């Protein structure tokens, strides 16, 4: 018999069976009674659940039908999208209801997709901590290995005062005074300079907050004082060498920046009720990504580092928060500002009429590499071919350069990037181009004079602004509308932001902002008086008129001060 075999239980005797038989029979009967009661209770609960779920399905179906009826009164361009989303939502509710009734919830249907993505992201962030910690330890970063190892199991310790001071000392190449005293004694302080105590601003800092830095002549002082820390001179010299290597090590800095990004974002996701998104996404994360990619103000951007930054940014679930991080790069200009535009164009599609494209072009042709095709082409190679074509077209049409210079720069970029020849808006004779523009505005003026529908006038104005978008064209469109009937101006103003497919016109905000500023300017006081008079009469007749409400809302969207002024003069609340 093997050691794992257990001896058989002894067989009970007949007397024992007869003695316990009555008690055993009572227990079996009691268990059967309880089982029958539980089955009845479960059946009643199931019927109640089915009744509740069925009532919920009916009430939700009635709600969807009611909303669908209301949606059909919206513009035809918006109806299809909203109805399709309602149908999709209704189908999802039916699936969840069926899963509840049938007891099939293995796919976790009750959890919203955003919560699934959040859980998955938190798991990925947690998994990313250990490799970064191991890399910092392997690179012999001047950080306590025990403190780093603790971050794997307890990431929240990264935000304790001791860890914060350790991280700050690593970045600045400093050491804590209390650690030097503990390891090398008070006499070793002659090799360091106090970087915390200040007679004016911080005369009495806490002992644990005092940070030290090695003196520039450390090696000479070490040789001149052989009796100071005599038993640990080798360790002291090794610490000095370690600090110097850390300040020059790009690998250590990269690993620490990635670790800081991961821990900061994970802490936000774990404490979203108390952490402010403005602080994390506008102040804490942008410097980490910027320092990761921008190795030096005069160094060119490296696509490998950009891809690493994109991998970190992918952990941010909300696209607006992700773009907020990117938008806070390069406040002082330079390479970091270039990085901001590159990441923006790598993550979205823009046309040459978008304000962000114009801003990128101004940055390219107005920086230190102004009008140097090779330098600009090196930056444009970081984005895809479609974005390259868009930016080159914007350069060809830019009013920041003379026509000849813009054409020369555009052709050089086309050659450097290997793009197909692009048509130049300024390559034709200037007189012929001007006549074409004048004819287009003359046609629009005739549309206004013939009392064409606001939709036709808006489409004609939009087409002309998309064909050639600059300050002169915007001004010309305003002058035509200012001379027209005031309600025509109001209706065109309300229709201009919305494209036929329901999307927002990319140039609409800038155009409407220009209109709003001109409308309230004293130069166009007569036009303002006519518009206010027409809107005041409309407000008296129908205070909730869509034209009036939408006009005030759009003016508030582009210029809140102008909206407040118009609403006050009309007599309504903005």
279-325 per-position pLDDT tens digit: 899 889 999 999 999 887 777 888 999 999 999 999 998 888 898 89
Query: For 372, left (φ over 0), alpha (ψ -120 to 50), or beta?
Result: beta
Query: What is the mean predicted confidence (pLDDT) over 351-378?
Result: 79
Q: What is the pLDDT of residue 76?
A: 61
Token representation of residue 454: 């606001």
Token representation of residue 297: 């103000």
Q: Bigger pLDDT: 70 or 138?
A: 138
Are the beta carbons of 467 and 423 closer than 8 angstroms? no
Reduced 3-state DSSP string for 427-443: CCCHHHHHHHHHHHHHH
DSSP result, 367-407: STTTT-HHHHHHHHTTS-HHHHHHHHHHHHT-TTS-HHHHH
Q: What is the pLDDT of residue 431?
A: 42
Judged by DSSP in three states, 414 sits in: helix
Query: What is the mean predicted confidence (pLDDT) over 125-133?
Result: 93
Interatomic CA distance for residues 462 and 505, integer angstroms: 9
Q: Bigger pLDDT: 440 or 153?
A: 153
Provide the 8-state DSSP code for 470.
Answer: S
Interatomic CA distance for residues 132 and 145, integer angstroms: 12
Q: Which percentage of the chain shows pLDDT scores above 90?
A: 13
Residue 573 CB partners (closer than 8 Å, separation 6+): 567
Q: What is the pLDDT of residue 573?
A: 67
Token representation of residue 264: 């900061």
Token look-up 């606001």 returns 454
Q: What is the pLDDT of residues 140-184, one digit of tens each?
A: 888 888 999 999 999 999 999 888 888 888 888 888 888 888 888
* Sign of the alpha-carbon torsion through 156, 162, 164, 166: negative
Taking the chain, what is the end-to-end CA distance rounded to the nearest angstrom?
92
Residue 430 pLDDT class (50, 70, 90 cuts): very low
Residue 10 CB partners (closer than 8 Å, separation 6+): none
Reduced 3-state DSSP string for 180-233: HHHHHCHHHHHHEEECCCECCCECCCCHHHCEEEECCCHHHHHHHCCCCCHHHH
Q: What is the pLDDT of residues 401-426, one digit of tens each?
A: 888 888 888 888 888 888 887 655 44
Residue 508 pLDDT class (50, 70, 90 cuts): confident
Q: What is the pLDDT of residues 175-232, one digit of tens each?
A: 888 888 888 888 888 888 888 888 787 888 888 788 888 888 888 888 888 887 777 8
197 DSSP β-pair partners: none
| Cα separation values, 130 from 165, 196, 201, 263, 264, Å | 21, 32, 39, 11, 15
Q: Bigger pLDDT: 111 or 374?
A: 374
pLDDT mean across residues, the chain: 82
Q: What is the pLDDT of residue 427?
A: 42
Element (H, E) at 176: strand 175-176
* Sign of the alpha-carbon torsion through 236, 240, 242, 246: positive
The CA-based angle 190-195-201, given to 5 degrees, is 130
Residue 22 pLDDT class (50, 70, 90 cuts): confident
pLDDT for 334 beyond 80: yes
Query: What is the mean predicted confidence (pLDDT) over 396-401?
Result: 80
Q: In what order do the strands lie in the sheet containing 192-194? A: 175-176, 211-214, 192-194
Q: Bigger pLDDT: 354 or 243?
A: 243
Backbone φ and ψ for 176, nearest 5 degrees, come out as -80, 140
Shortest CA distance to 511 belongs to which of 462, 453, 568, 546?
Answer: 462
Report, in angstroms and rounded to the nearest whole number, the Rg of the chain calculated over CA atoms. Answer: 36
pLDDT for 490 beyond 80: yes
pLDDT for 485 beyond 60: yes
Residue 259 pLDDT class (50, 70, 90 cuts): very high
Q: What is the pLDDT of residues 373-387, one digit of tens each?
A: 888 888 999 998 888
Token look-up 């002992």 returns 207
pLDDT for 565 beyond 60: yes
Give the Cβ contact number of residue 98 at 10 Å.
Answer: 13
Residue 125 pLDDT class (50, 70, 90 cuts): very high
**Helix extents (H) in 484-558:** 486-495, 508-519, 525-541, 546-558
Residue 111 pLDDT class (50, 70, 90 cuts): low
- Of the listed ranges 200-214, 249-263, 265-279, 420-434, the least confidently predicted one is 420-434
Question: For the chain, what is the largest distance between any 2 Cα atoms, rounded to a whole number of angstroms?
Answer: 123
């Amino acid at each position: 018999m093997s050691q794992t075999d257990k001896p058989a239980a002894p067989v009970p005797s007949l007397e024992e069976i007869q003695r316990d038989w009555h008690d055993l029979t009572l227990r079996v009967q009691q268990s059967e009674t309880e089982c029958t009661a539980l089955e009845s209770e479960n059946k009643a609960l199931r019927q109640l659940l089915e009744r509740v779920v069925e009532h919920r399905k009916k009430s939700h179906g009635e709600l969807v039908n009611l909303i669908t009826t209301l949606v059909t009164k919206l513009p035809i361009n918006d109806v299809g999208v909203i109805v399709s989303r309602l149908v999709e939502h209704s189908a999802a509710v039916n699936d969840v209801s069926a899963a509840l009734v049938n007891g099939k919830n293995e796919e976790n249907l009750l959890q919203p997709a955003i919560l699934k993505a959040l859980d998955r992201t938190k798991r990925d962030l947690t998994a990313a901590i250990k490799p970064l910690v191991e890399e910092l330890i392997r690179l012999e970063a001047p950080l306590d290995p025990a403190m780093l190892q603790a971050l794997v199991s307890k990431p929240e310790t990264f935000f304790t005062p001791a860890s914060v001071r350790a991280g700050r000392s690593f970045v600045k190449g400093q050491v804590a005074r209390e650690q030097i005293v503990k390891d090398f004694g008070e006499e070793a302080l002659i090799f360091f300079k106090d970087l915390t105590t200040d007679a004016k601003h911080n005369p009495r800092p806490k002992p644990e907050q005092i940070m030290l830095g090695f003196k520039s002549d450390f090696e000479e002082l070490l040789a001149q004082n052989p009796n100071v820390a005599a038993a640990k001179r080798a360790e002291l010299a090794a610490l000095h060498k370690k600090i110097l290597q850390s300040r020059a090590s790009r690998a250590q800095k990269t690993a620490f920046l990635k670790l800081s990004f991961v821990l900061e974002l994970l802490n936000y996701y774990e404490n979203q009720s108390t952490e402010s998104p403005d602080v994390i996404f506008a102040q804490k994360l942008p410097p980490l990504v910027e320092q990761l990619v921008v190795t030096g103000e005069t160094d060119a951007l490296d696509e490998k580092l950009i891809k690493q930054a994109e991998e970190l940014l992918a952990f941010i679930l909300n696209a607006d928060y992700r773009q907020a991080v990117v938008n806070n790069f390069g406040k002082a200009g330079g390479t970091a500002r270039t990085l901001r535009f590159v990441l923006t164009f790598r993550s979205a599609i823009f046309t040459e009429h978008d304000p962000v494209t114009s801003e990128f072009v101004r940055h390219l042709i107005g920086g230190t590499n102004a009008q140097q095709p090779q330098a600009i082409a090196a930056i444009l190679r970081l984005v895809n071919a479609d974005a390259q074509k868009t930016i080159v077209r914007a350069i060809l049409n830019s009013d920041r350069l003379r026509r000849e210079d813009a054409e020369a720069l555009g052709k050089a970029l086309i050659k450097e990037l290997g793009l197909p020849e692009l048509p130049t808006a300024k390559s034709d004779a200037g007189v012929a181009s001007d006549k074409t523009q004048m004819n287009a505005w003359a046609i629009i003026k005739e549309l206004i004079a013939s009392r064409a529908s606001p939709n036709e006038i808006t489409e004609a104005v939009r087409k002309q602004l998309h064909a050639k978008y600059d300050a002169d064209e915007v001004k010309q469109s305003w002058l035509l509308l200012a001379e027209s009937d005031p309600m025509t101006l109001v209706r065109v103003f309300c229709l201009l932001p919305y494209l036929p497919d329901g999307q927002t016109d990319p140039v609409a905000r800038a155009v409407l902002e220009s209109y709003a500023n001109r409308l309230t300017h004293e130069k166009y006081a007569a036009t303002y008086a006519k518009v206010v008079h027409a809107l005041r009469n409309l407000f008296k007749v129908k205070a909730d008129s869509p034209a009036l409400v939408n006009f005030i809302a759009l003016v508030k969207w582009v210029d809140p001060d102008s909206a407040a002024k118009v609403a006050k003069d009309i007599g309504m609340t903005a």
